[in-house]
Amino acid sequence: MSATWTSQARCLKKMIDANNETQAHMYLEQLLLFPVDIQDKIIEDISHLTNCSSDAVAGIIGHYSIVDLK
């Protein structure tokens, strides 16, 4: 996992652990420029993790940031 994604994941995980969904949305929007619907999916996926680690969060962010080349 890239160090950048892991660092971003730690910040996002702290916001979600603090139950600050608004701040998490703003973080994703400003830092990663994800559309609001994707932000919702990322936060939803993170909230369903059984083990919410930085690597798991980074994996979810990475999943939604990959452009599908078809």
Q: By percentage, how much of the chain surpasses pLDDT 90?
A: 4
Contact 61, 12 (CB under 8 A): yes
Pick the residue with more confidence: 68 or 38?
38
Contact 46, 13 (CB under 8 A): yes
Judging by beta carbons within 10 Å of its beta carbon (0-12, 13-18, 19+), is residue 36 exposed, middle or buried? exposed
* pLDDT on residue 3: 74
- At 70, the pLDDT band (50, 70, 90 cuts) reads very low
From CA 65, how far away is CA 70, in angstroms rounded? 15
pLDDT at 24 over 80: yes
Pick the residue with more confidence: 68 or 24?
24
Pick the residue with more confidence: 42 or 32?
42
